[in-house]
Structure 1
């Protein structure tokens, strides 16, 4: 390697959402293994220790030299997907980065030695202020790439230009609505993006769906925060040098190709880089993931016991990720769990969301009496999915969960809330046919008829239980076996994405060549 290569430096920043952060940690680890470069990874106080543990999952014994090239620095306290302190901390850090000065971690107080100014920055697509900050501080000398940490298909609901089927520039449209109607700008944004009106959406790679289906659960999203961020996304990404898409090319090729075409038209690059997971069964990957859950030993014990008593692919894993939870209809989850136990299916339930609250005493008593289930506030998800006892995954359909499940060869039962989740659920159940989607669990706008077949959910507890019984029976029968065969074919395709010549291997090498 030349000394110039050795001195390359890349900056990475994800906002405080684990689904945004975890894959960027994994990409950072891959970058330092692919080329002789440094990565400065910015995070928050709350995520600092989690990032260190996740990073350690990617480096086995003997790879300490690679690991030393990723430095993790906290910018301070934050909240989900936003934070003035983080934005301001990053702005100050940018000034020092481009000047080649040392940096101090807010959480630990550690002073990190100066590095050469960065060649590129990969920044959360929601981080509109940090993207502007590094462009301003570097006078556009640093190449900036938006980190699209969601299903690529969802880009057609809020950032892709009108010409390619997206909403285009929401700021301009909201300003026009506000001027025409007298509505406040924020209200106009909410109305344009978050209030369904029965429109039919035609998105690459999916059957047409109603905009009501984009919000299948009445979920308390921070609309005010989203209304501040979304109007600026189109113009923010427009000034970036390109976009990183975390989705594997083999999962949603239609959306990826259309997005790349859109970007190429304006001279920008689209890089695919999924799946972003540490190697399964690696000693570092497994041992460090176990550290993330205080109940890891108990979870492994249940998985091993289930394998002995019930056999392979017999356990049901249930998780709605680190944020989502049926907070406004928990009784539907407990009804679903009743059916799981009635059918004698072993299970693990993750309650990682801050909205989950404590497990109700009545449910705790039932689970304890059942003896084949476990409830945990945080689970080592990849370990569970990779275990031979795990048969199915009930998931909210967050993109990281979907990619992890397919990578492990585990078919899914989708229970989506919003964001990219309804689109993943539709692709899983109707396009790829590698799982099912629960319909009767819907609430709010989700109770409108489905465009695909006209079905109107009943949404009563009785309907939830009837659907749960039907779906779970099929899942553990011949129909589920066919879905498992299809998901295993996709698993093999995922394994080739990072092999030499694979889509992610080629795209990330092209990025490294460009800086």
Structure 2
């Protein structure tokens, strides 16, 4: 057998620069590597540098980590400076030539690395990646780390614009039901539509590019991979089945990784992809009563003003329950010296049954018996982690898919409360008390039922476990077909 012929599948991953995208893709890459696949993981340069600083790359010695240039210039601050639309508009000129060169180099590379069997790309990058992959006849899987309900919504933006539901104008007809999305007629209001629909005009260049050059291009991919599971989003997955030839639902990926991986070191450590965890919070949780703690985290991107931070702080203190609050160093916005506000918050928190940390091992925290409620931004990874741990949520969404996720949490799955577009201490106190006291028994019924489904789906015979096996089999078939096709051409 010649060096050029693939002996095992080689899967190339390409993620956009965000923790909510990189983390689930790394989980999937880890699962495929356990099937003896070769894995190349491509990040933008500044993310690669962050991974080096956290020593995460050392946990994946079998992976090949490569880089493409940054979309945002290295001398430009990244936090809050570029909208999703602007980012997407800037990606094509960077990603296309870089990916083309990488695929050429992988074909020429000597040693154990094989040419690329397929690419698993972040679905947001579909236009750029699929164009290049088709040149090289490399199949593409579109991976979406967001909910199926959000993906289904994105496919209806032209109709939403026609009906006047997009753009979503803040404080204008926010409670108006959205009736043009099949399956969501009695669920979604304008305020529940994805955050990137909150724009000034319908013909926003970023939104048009996101829809026409990204979402509507995704069906050109060989298949769609979603970090969700049939027992949670079956109706929406069925709707997407009319758009995509093949769909693999493989979530919750962190649960599937835990179920399939005997050595949990990598799985646990991958929580600290971009920040170092403060593990002292686990000892603090050990000292708290069962189901008494409110865990508060708004993810890796969202920033809050001083006023909003203080409203959350007072609301939590007034609830009377102990709380663990993740406040990143860059969490405070609009202040010349955020450290002053951080000091003020820390004094308030630590005087009132609270603990503040800059980053926490979230999966481990949610699984801790002391945690009773999760106050979250409703990012999809956080939502799935809370579902898997069986912790009810108070949702305070801000961007992207978070708005529609929070609506499903509260009104479809009934496993939490939705606090979107509200930030006052009395509401925060009321919702904490409600989930800890008045509504706890009622909500925990739904929480425990869905938790059971989440754990069953990742076990052998469960739908996500079986879909992972199908994905592995299909990628093996691609590798064998590619080998046979090249052999036939030579003869």
* TM bucket normalised to smaller: 0.7 to 0.9
SS in structure 1 at match of 2:32: helix
Q: Please report the RMSD computed on the Cα atoms of aligned residues, expressed in angstroms.
A: 3.7
Contact between 1:11 and 1:39, CA under 8 Å: does it hold in 2?
A: yes
| Structure with bigger RCO (C-alpha 8 Å, 6+ apart) | 2
1:322 CA drift (Å) = 0.9
Give the alignment of 1:149-164 within 5 angstroms: 149-159=145-155
* Counterpart in the other structure of 1:363: 345
Contact between 1:325 and 1:353, CA under 8 Å: does it hold in 2?
A: no
1:303 aligns with one of 265, 282, 285: 285
Give the alignment of 1:205-244 within 5 angstroms: 207-214=186-193, 225-244=206-225
* Counterpart in the other structure of 2:79: none
Tell me the alpha carbon deviations over residues 429-480 of structure 1, each in whole angstroms, 9 at most, x when there is no partner: 11211111125616xxxxxxxxxxxxxxxxxxxxx33322322212111521
1:288 CA drift (Å) = 5.6
2:296 aligns with one of 314, 318, 325: 318
1:353 CA drift (Å) = 8.0
Tell me the alpha carbon deviations over residues 272-293 of structure 1, each in whole angstroms, 9 at most, x when there is no partner: 1111114299344335646865
Contact between 1:58 and 1:284, CA under 8 Å: does it hold in 2?
A: no
Partner Cα distance (1:7, 1:217) in 2: 40
Q: 1:44 to 1:216 in 2, by over 3 A?
A: closer
* Counterpart in the other structure of 1:375: 356
* Counterpart in the other structure of 2:464: 504
* Counterpart in the other structure of 1:331: 307
> Is 1:351–2:351 an aligned residue pair?
no
Q: Return the TM-score normalized by structure 2.
A: 0.78
Partner Cα distance (2:142, 2:21) in 1: 12
SS in structure 2 at match of 1:250: helix
Tell me the alpha carbon deviations over residues 180-200 of structure 1, each in whole angstroms, 9 at most, x when there is no partner: xxxxxxxxxx99555587562
Partner Cα distance (1:410, 1:403) in 2: 10
> Is 1:477–2:437 an aligned residue pair?
yes
* Counterpart in the other structure of 2:97: 91
Partner Cα distance (2:167, 2:196) in 1: 16
| Unpaired stretches in structure 1, ≥5 consecutive residues | 60-66, 104-111, 160-165, 178-189, 443-463
Tell me the alpha carbon deviations over residues 86-127 of structure 1, each in whole angstroms, 9 at most, x when there is no partner: 863563343442564467xxxxxxxx9673222211111111
Partner Cα distance (1:216, 1:98) in 2: 38
Give the alignment of 1:78-227 within 5 angstroms: 78-79=71-72, 82=87, 84=90, 88=94, 91-98=97-104, 100-101=106-107, 115-138=113-136, 141-159=137-155, 166-167=156-157, 192=166, 198=176, 200-201=178-179, 202=181, 204=183, 207-214=186-193, 225-227=206-208
Tell me the alpha carbon deviations over residues 208-262 of structure 1, each in whole angstroms, 9 at most, x when there is no partner: 33324436899899x7644533331244213222211111222211101110233
* Counterpart in the other structure of 2:252: 275
Task: Name whichever of 84-93 and 390-399 sits farther off.
Answer: 84-93
Q: 1:363 to 1:218 in 2, by over 3 A?
A: farther
Partner Cα distance (1:229, 1:325) in 2: 23
Task: Name whichever of 425-434 and 74-83 sits farther off.
Answer: 74-83
* Counterpart in the other structure of 2:38: 38
Give the alignment of 1:420-459 within 5 angstroms: 420-438=401-419, 441=422
Q: 1:293 to 1:74 in 2, by over 3 A?
A: same
Contact between 1:32 and 1:38, CA under 8 Å: does it hold in 2?
A: yes
Partner Cα distance (2:206, 2:54) in 1: 28
Contact between 2:21 and 2:145, CA under 8 Å: does it hold in 1?
A: yes
SS in structure 2 at match of 1:337: helix
